[in-house]
Structure 1
Amino acid sequence: MRVLVYGAGQLAQMMYLAGCPLGIDVQAVDVSNDTVVHPVSKQPLDTSLAQAIEAADALTVEFEHVPERLLEQAARSAKLMPSIDAILVGADRVREKRLLDSLQVPNCPHKVISDLSELDECIDLLGDKLIIKASRDGYDGYGQWRLTDTSQLDELKLSLSGLDLKTVPLVVESMLSFDRELSLIGVRGKGGEVKVYPLAENLHHQGQLHVSVAPAPQVSLALQEKAEAIFKTLAEGMDYVGVLAVEMFQCGDELLVNELAPRVHNSGHWTLSGADISQFENHLRAVAGLPLGDTAAIGPSAMINVIGCSSFSRDLLSIPGCHLHWYGKSVRDKRKMGHINLVAKSYAGLGEKMHTLSQYLPLEFFPKLVNEAQRLSKC
């Protein structure tokens, strides 16, 4: 069995490692030059992209911003999972909003604009506190702007004046007051079988995910069921195959969908240590037509992203239940270099392990760690 992954980053690498025990050979495509490479070494393989597509049993993606010409080529093979339409939903916020609205999935109040003059109307419609998002190529806080007071409107228009909004419209959303950010990782197989992991609570800093805790503390059965119903509506509505991540805001007892990621996702990395079957293995099982694996949590888990640094003590591996996943990248500001997973028997125990972990790390790169450790220690 062979799976070809478009994208050659850490997600393709983790899919490769998950596929080895299953006898699934995972190859990757460097989409910047159409070269087929080994997902771990990144060395080019002795095959053309056309040959790799022909030899593969399934094609999939590790991120949604694959050039459309490559996705169209992949779709013609009838082996691409999830479908090209589902992948493009993740790459374009306008498509995403249309999908959510068409399936009547609750999401943030919004308006799509293609001219800056429409911002005044957005204030009347959505209020004077707005988040403006580029409809394409925005991630980790990039391609986003905020309006917190109408006095900033002229300055905001000036900063956006160089954008081609006819080609890439803006999605303008109300700036909501929410309780916390959650995400649900689920998987749907070829035959429609669905498995869903517990909700994870996500802590962001400057638009980037820094810490995920799963299962999210203080989640009622009703809230988990509401999240699962949203996932099933989306997955069935798109006839989806593979892992899908649904990022949400919790507002009291309600959930509003913020973003969709049609792939394995950073907030699901905890599953490598904290679940019987990881999101990476379950994604491969889905696209390969294999039975889906157990998604129950083994115990409270935390995933801590290592961002923009590589100098820290590897003695952190002495912490029981601590696992380091290193991506082998050169250091760059705001670049995800790897992640650390912790698993414990209780939230209080998880908090204690996070506190111990903080002693091995340069905390200026881990701004959410200590406070979260303190919070969980009291659970």
Structure 2
Amino acid sequence: MNILILGSGQLARMMALAGYPLGLHVAAVDVNARNVVDPLTKLVSDKSLIQALVEADAISVEFEHIPQDLLEQVNATGKLKPSIESIMAGADRVKEKALLSGLNIANCPYKIVTDINQLDEAVVQLGEKLIIKASRDGYDGYGQWRLSSVTQLAELKLQLSELDLQKVPLVVEKMLCFERELSLVGVRSANGEIAYYPLAENLHHQGQLHVSVAPAPHVNEALNQQAQDVFNKLAHALGYVGVLAVEFFQMGDQLLVNEIAPRVHNSGHWSMQGADTCQFENHLRAISGLPLGATTVLKPTAMINIIGCDDFSKDILSIAGSHLHLYGKTVRAKRKMGHLNVSADSYAELGKTMQALAQYLPAEHFPMLKDEAARLATL
């Protein structure tokens, strides 16, 4: 069976690696050059995009920011999974907010801004502490601004005045004092079968995910059920097929949706070692019509992103329970170069293993690691 993935980065690569044992051949598309490439070697195929679309049995995406004309061309084949509506909701925060509000799913209080002077109204409506997000093409902290005091408003308006807000509106959200960030990764098949991974706890630094721990500590059944109910609403409303990630802010006993990702997700990478079937394999199973794999947790696992560096000792591999996944990229600031998965029999042992790992990793590139390791070691 031939699977075509729009996008040729590390997520397409990991899907390809998960697909080969199942007899699934995964090719990728460089969505800017419109070339068909091997997701592992990055070599350009002599196969045309049109030919690849015809030969594909199923087509999916590794990220949601696909050029509109290409997305519509692929959708016309009838092979795109998840649906174009799902992908567009993940790519556009205005559509995403409309989807959440239409389904009565709790999310951050917000205002859509299409004129710079509407920021004054947003301050009155939401308060002076705000997170301001470009509605399209923002990720990993890019396309986001913060307002901490009304005294900064004039300067911020000047900074944003060059943006075309009619073309790309801003989504202005109230800055919430939440306890932690959680995410639920789940998968739905074409016949409506659903499998959930446990909630993961996520730690961010400068807008980028640095560490995920799964299952998230201190999660009761009510909180877990609340997350799954949200997933169900979204998946059923969108007729979803494949892996879907939902990011939450936890405020006491309530979960507020931060955003959705209609694809395999960074906070699900832990499943490569920590679950019976990883998210990449389950996504391929869903879109190709195979039975879903079990999402049973094998051991508590931490995923640690390797960001903007490659100057660390490979002796980390001598630490029991540690697994290195490199993406074959050249180093660039804030670029995800790979990740580490670390598993142990308990949270306490996981924390101790992460403390051992930290001895090999430069603290400036892994700023969340030592504190998180110390916290887990006490559980």
Give TM-score scaled by structure 1 length.
0.99
Aligned to 1:197: 197
Give, in whole Å, the separation in 2 of the partners of 1:116 and 1:56.
45
Q: Distance in 2 between matches of 1:150 and 1:10?
A: 41
Identity of aligned residues (%): 63
> 2:168 — aligned with what?
168
Shift of 1:348: 0.1
Aligned to 2:102: 102
Where 1:202 maps in the other structure, the secondary structure is strand
Q: Could you tell me which residue of structure 2 aligns to residue 128 of structure 1?
A: 128
Three-state SS of the structure 1 residue aligned to 2:376 is helix
Tell me what 1:294 maps to: 294
Cα distance in 2 for residues equivalent to 1:251 and 1:273: 30
Whole-angstrom distance in 2 between the partners of 1:334 and 1:146: 19
Are residues 1:23 and 2:30 paired? no
Q: CA offset at residue 316 of structure 1?
A: 0.5
> Counterpart of 2:116 in 1: which secondary structure?
coil
The one-letter code of the counterpart of 2:232 is K
Matched, 1:89 2:89: yes
Residue 264 of structure 1 corresponds to which residue in structure 2? 264
Q: What SS is found at the alignment partner of 1:294? A: coil
Q: What RMSD, in angstroms, separates the aligned Cα atoms of the two structures?
A: 0.5
What letter is aligned with 1:37? V
3-state SS, counterpart of residue 29 of structure 1: strand
Q: How does 1:227-242 map to 2 (within 5 A)?
A: 227-242=227-242
Matches within 5 A, 1:182-193: 182-193=182-193
Secondary structure of the structure 2 residue equivalent to 1:186: strand
Q: Which runs of 5+ in 1 are unaligned?
A: none
Aligned to 2:223: 223
- The offset of 1:117, in angstroms, is 1.0
1: CA distance, partners of 2:328 / 2:378: 36
Partner Cα distance (1:115, 1:30) in 2? 34
For residue 369 of structure 1, what is the aligned residue in structure 2? 369
Task: Give the corresponding residue for 2:378.
Answer: 378
d(CA) in 2 for partners of 1:152 and 1:361?
A: 37
Once the 2 structures are TM-superposed, how far is the Cα of residue 46 of structure 1 from its aligned partner?
2.2
Q: Which position in structure 1 is the counterpart of 2:344?
A: 344
Residue 68 of structure 2 corresponds to residue 68 of structure 1: yes
Give the Cα–Cα distance (whole angstroms) in 2 for the partners of residues 365 and 185 of structure 1: 26
Q: Distance in 2 between matches of 1:161 and 1:296?
A: 50
1:46 maps to which residue? 46
- Opposite residue 221 of structure 1, the aligned amino acid is E
Partners of 1:361 and 1:118 lie apart in 2 by: 45
In structure 2, distance between residues paired with 1:5 and 1:172: 32
Offset of residue 228 of structure 1 = 0.5
Unaligned runs of 5+ in 2: none
Q: How far apart, CA to CA, are the structure 2 residues paired with 1:321 and 1:17?
A: 21
Partner of 2:148: 148
Which letter maps to 1:156?
A: L
**Could you tell me which amino acid in structure 1 is paired with residue 19 of structure 2?**
G
What's the offset of the Cα at 1:366? 0.1
Distance 1:266 1:23 in 2: 25
Amino acid aligned to 1:10: Q
TM-score for the superposition, normalised by structure 2: 0.99
Q: CA deviation at 1:45?
A: 1.3
SS at match of 1:132: strand
AA matched with 1:231:
F
